[in-house]
Structure 1
């Protein structure tokens, strides 16, 4: 939703975007209101840092978009080019996934989870078709819009392979909703994903990406590096 701002608000916005775009945080009580750009900016080097609260324990999570390379693995998309995305949580947890822009959204082809503090793969998953990360289609940004995504998920763990069908129902809960996180106060599009085993809610801001997530654990944006 496009919003009008005063020259003062615009100046504050520019300063704030410069601050957080360089990886810092911006929170002075005003609302940061980017009005253009994708829900999830997808460029090599983009980085988001979150405060994660899980069962009362607080840690930090950092996700970085890497260069394009073949997805690899044994799935049907192994020859597709996708960005290698590295996510580090706390001091021990690491996941690597292969994701790319496809059509109106970002999709995930393959993901590896590693044993704590090692480079040993603990679990590997791939999806057919590629699993939706977020969809930016205009019809999926309207409050009340809902759609179903269905995938075949293959999981490799401990030398055992298993495949199951996943169904995820997406719903747009709100648009232009204020949300406050350590990085500042934003106006966000709110999406809910009701999956096979759990329900998650996401707050996305155009030109910045995900600023909050709840369901299972809570993630709140602390800083981001998303150059214009």
Structure 2
């Protein structure tokens, strides 16, 4: 049954869940709202806030995994940076079904976008050039390990990503980059690293206050520091 895959523990579409990250020198928050059940699984609104720039996109969970309207982490970060992002095409899930989130599990996704600088950065004559880019990603689950970030210590799945970014030119050779993402069940992404650099680190997990008499729901795999 499709519902068995939703909510996906590695990208939980949980009403009122807010995750705050350190992204470089800025803070990025992702908040899940308006979660609704569908015949395929779940649908929700994912609100993004970075440097005071607020946007939102649709996120869906189904039997093949979780997808977002901005094409996953790359599209989300581009949107939050202030760039105008038009998604030309997006294939494959951001996070696959839980059955694939095991050591040795693999999946692919691809994102093609058109980018325009924000209104405030117009060139002389009001020009805002359009840049076309494609991101092809291959992901492999390396294994399970404890990872410590500002929000605490989590038992997480470590995923190796090999992403090839290409410009819109047909003869573009592309640039390949290796990175790692740690996913904690019940929370989602807790850390992203490229080489020795931490690109994204979870600072805080916020959930709605439980009703009186009901226990607070704690994320799986979290341990006190």
TM-score with structure 1 setting the length: 0.61
The answer as to 2:154 corresponding to 1:195 is no
Structure 2 Cα separation of the partners of residues 114 and 61 of structure 1: 8
Residue deviations 1:27-57, cap 9 Å, x none? Answer: xxxxxxxxx97112112321101123x3xxx
Residue deviations 1:61-104, cap 9 Å, x none? Answer: 211113369xxxxxxxxxxx953322222x34444332221324
Residue deviations 1:167-214, cap 9 Å, x none? Answer: 211111112x01111111111011122111333311111112111111
Report if aligned partners of 1:66, 1:83 keep a CA contact under 8 Å in 2. Answer: yes
Report if aligned partners of 1:41, 1:226 keep a CA contact under 8 Å in 2. Answer: no
Report if aligned partners of 1:114, 1:123 keep a CA contact under 8 Å in 2. Answer: no
Structure 2 Cα separation of the partners of residues 94 and 141 of structure 1: 31
Give the Å deviation of 1:108.
Answer: 1.7
- Ranked by relative contact order (alpha carbons within 8 Å, sequence separation 6 or more), the top structure is 1
TM-score with structure 2 setting the length: 0.61
Structure 1 Cα separation of the partners of residues 186 and 81 of structure 2: 34
Equivalent pairs, count: 169
Tell me what 1:48 maps to.
Answer: 19
Report if aligned partners of 2:8, 2:98 keep a CA contact under 8 Å in 1. Answer: no
Q: Which runs of 5+ in 2 are unaligned?
A: 1-6, 37-41, 118-127, 166-176, 209-216, 218-225
Give the Å deviation of 1:218.
Answer: 2.1
The answer as to 2:95 corresponding to 1:134 is yes
Give secondary structure in 2 for the equivalent of 1:44.
coil
The answer as to 2:184 corresponding to 1:205 is yes
Matches within 5 A, 1:65-80: 65-67=32-34
The answer as to 2:139 corresponding to 1:170 is yes
Q: What's the Cα RMSD here?
A: 3.2
